[in-house]
Amino acid sequence: MPTSPSSSLHSAIAGLYFYGRSIRELGASRAAVNTPVAVGLLGIPLLGEIPDGVGWIGIALVSAGVAFASAGPR
């Protein structure tokens, strides 16, 4: 099914709005850690895409890397 440019624009605006809201609510560090997990989980019901084992490992590694980087020096 082809998409119209306006539907693409609306989805981009909605994505930016909700990402900005999550940063406001959670803070930048927590929002960055949760984003790969949320995207992976939302892809299942919305797009019917189920990540394979490598996809889940990638989500875990990206989330762990962002958490490690945003923890700062100790």
Count of CB atoms within 10 A of residue 31's CB? 19
If DSSP codes are grouped into helix, strand and coil, which group holds residue 73? coil
Q: Confirm whether pTM is higher than 0.75.
A: no
pLDDT of residue 57: 93
Reply yes or no on whether the pLDDT at 33 is more than 90.
no
The domain spans of the chain are 5-71
pLDDT of residue 46: 85
